[in-house]
Structure formats: C-alpha cells, structure tokens
Amino acid sequence: MEMKEFYDYEGEISKLSNAVSLLEWDMRTKIPPKGVKDRAEVIGKLSRMIFEMSTAPKMAEFVEYFNRPRIYDSLSDVDRREVDLASKHYRRQKSIPPDKIEKFSIICSKGESIWQEARAESNFAKFQPVLEEIVEYLKEFTELYGYEENRYDALLEGYEPSTTTNDIKKIVDGLKTDLVPFIKKISQAKVPNDAILNGNFDKSLQEKLSIEVLKAMTYDLDGGRLDETAHPFTIGIGPGDVRVTTKYDPKNLKPSFFGTMHEGGHALYEQGISKEYRRTMVGTAASMGIHESQSRTWENMIGRSRAFWKFFYPKLVEIFPQYADIPVEDFYKAINVVRPSLIRIEADEVTYNLHIILRFEIEEAIINDRVKVADLPELWNSKIKEYLGMEPSNDAEGVLQDVHWAGGQMGYFPSYMLGNLYAAQFFARARKEIPDLDERIASGDLKTFREWQREKIHRHGSLYDPKDLVMKVTGEPLNHKYFMDYITEKFSDVYGI
C-alpha cells in the first residue's frame, strides 16, 4: 500500500465535498424558494456519501496500515501529518451512524431556510422547533464523539483542535478583566462624528467599491467571485474557485465594505494554501480561529487603519463623490467609533468580543442542559443588556441574527474571539519583520503583507495545529495582551484619551 493510493481516495471524497459546497453556495445566494426542499435532500444524500466514504472499510484499512510504527516512521513530515489528520477525522466520523448524519444534514439545510423566514418575520417561535431538533442531535453527537470534562469540548474540537472549554473560559476571564475597564474609559470620552457614514448608497456602486477593494487586497477574481447574501460568508468550491459574498445596506457603506474585506481575508487564506496540498486534509485551514484571524486582520487592522485610507480614500471619493469635501481623517475616525451594537457583524473592534462571549456562554449552557431552547430569546436579551447595556426590540436583531445554529454550528463562535487574538499577535509580529509596513500600506502596497501572510500562515494549510502555528510564527503562545495593546493604542489615539 502506498500513500498515493491514500491520497487518491481522499481526492475522491474532496470532489464530492466540492459538489456539496457548490450546492450550499447556491442555496444561500441564488436558489428560488420552491427549490429548497429538494435541494436539502440532495445535500443530505451527498453528505451521506461523503460520510460513508470517510468511514468505509477502505479508510479503516488506510488508517490502520499507515499508523503502524514502522510505516508511520518512514513517512515524510507532511505525509505523517496527513495520516494524523485523517485518522482523527476517521475516528470522529466513525462514531456517528450514517443515517444520523444524513438526517442531520437535511434538518440543517431546512433549518437555514426556516431561519431566514423566521428572521424576516422576527419570529423565534417559527424557528424554535427545528432548532430543538438540531440541539438534540448535537447533544447526542457529543456523547458519541466522547469528551473528558465538558460536553461542549466535543463540539469545540470540530472547529478549534486541541482547545477545551476551560481554555476558552480562561481567555474570557482575562479578556473581560482588561477589556471592560477600557470600554468604560472610552464611553466617557467624546465620540467622533460618524453621521457622515449615513446616506443613500446605490447598490451597484457599493458592489463596484467592493470589487475595487478586493482587487487592492490582491484577491484573485479569476479564482472567485462576489455575490450578495443575507449573511455574508466565504466558501471554497474547489481548487481555483473561492467565492465571497457580502450584504448591501442602502443607507450605510460599512456593512458591505468591511464585510467584503472580512470575507476577502478568508478567501486570501484559501487561495494561498500550497497547491502541493490540493485535495488533501493538510490542504485545509489550521482551524476556524486561524481562518478568522486572517479575515479580521484585513477587515480591521488594515481596513480600518489610517494608513489604508491614505491610499484608498480617493477611490471611495471617485465612486461616491459626496465624500469629496470630507477630510480623510474625519472619515478614519468615523469608521472607528466605538458604539455598542445589537448586531454582531456590525460591532466595532472594541466591543465585538463581548458578542462572542455571550454566544459562548449560551451555547455551553444549552449543550450541558442548563438552558432550554425555548428560553433563548429571554436569555439572549438579558445577556445583551448585561454586556452592552442594550435590549433588542425584536428577535431579528437578537437571538435570530446569526445563521450558525441553523446550520448546526455550535462550538464555532469561540473561533471568532480567538481569531481577534491571533490576528493581533500575528500583526504585531508582521510589524517587527516588516518595519515599514504602515508606509507600504499607505502607498497602496498590500501585496507585501499578503506575501508575509502567505509565507508564514497560508501556505501551511493545516500542517500545524493552531497552538503550534502561533508558536512557529510569533515565538510564543497565544496571549490576549497583544489584542489589548493594539486596541488601547489605536482607540486612545482616535478618542484622544
């Protein structure tokens, strides 16, 4: 038995996964409402096929053979990593019966459609029954996966390898201790004028601006495309096809522009993974937290930087001439106003992590049977008030605002917070290794930084676990102090405190 045979088999699984990705992209962007039911069944069937191939006797044979000490020790570093990832995935998948995977996939596909309707109507009761089904499946899966201390650990493992609930709780405690006093300090300072961000913005012109910033970011438009969706996402359809989406607000530029930069950051990661790892498990992202670090870097550390707007502001003025008489410094401060928001994807850099802490705490309580699905709207509203001093006026701007639970993605949200922390630590390192980074960005040279990301992070795919990658890139473990240093320096300047 040779590794080539193993890679070929994984390649066939990858092709089916690409088909599912395309169907999911279409379901979230273009599909007519009457096509949802049948599409969900097709996705369910393909998902079952992928699952069955991933847990078939042939895969068991590969896992058993390549884990034999004599064989394993003879493999290259990359091949050993592939065997490690495949073995871990096999054992996790093998614990779930195929019929449950198919039913779960169908429920989640329907769940996303029902969520869209419930959100449009601001009616949690409409979404509650399907969410209850999804949660029950997830609880059952955690028991089948197995865990040592907390049932939620079994879900975290699917998004952030080797990270536990206790790890997250320690990070949350440290972050709260440093973050809450700084938010209080900012809240007492004079708020920059951000009314200049409001107005009437034609959707076609917003799309043009989004395309321009993707080009500036060096996103390969020949290897992807931009589309509109209810909840922005990035999806890799296959080699050479990584698509981004955004959402347009006719009254405000921020959602579409920074949403595009965010998703573009995800896409650059996918486009930058070494072609050597095509259709392998190594050829995927190290974790969702690492993935999120790349998107948050582009959205915030570059997209909301003074240096970026020194070069990109003329392009904005060209497309939206109403900004011609507004100084770029005023615009820079406006896009960096710290103001609590009910909507996570519209939250500022300083308060964003509180949204994630809220969701993490709710998820962990649901999975451990301390909270019922029926109680979610009330619990959500009370936590939002506790953390941000605000109360949603309806379910759409509260518990129904995110698509993740509809897709069965509990355990995902902590990756967003980890992403912010990874991003700050990576960016601090990039500044040390590229001393004139800000000057390069101000001149329109975003490629230098993109190449740094590609060399240090992107090209490796999942060759390293997140904790190992952070050590390799920065020389130390994840430390939330880099994030605090970044926001303290930036926002003390913006707010003059």
List residues with catalytic annotation.
263
CA-to-CA distance for 234 and 253, rounded, in angstroms? 20
Alpha-carbon radius of gyration of the chain: 22
HSE, side-chain direction, 13 A CA sphere, residue 347: 24
Q: For residues 53 and 16, is the Cβ–Cβ distance under 8 A?
A: yes
144 to each of 91, 94, 98, 137, how far by Cα in Å?
11, 9, 13, 11
Cα angle for residues 342, 25, 258 (degrees, 5° grid): 40
**Cβ neighbours around 2 below 10 Å, total:** 8
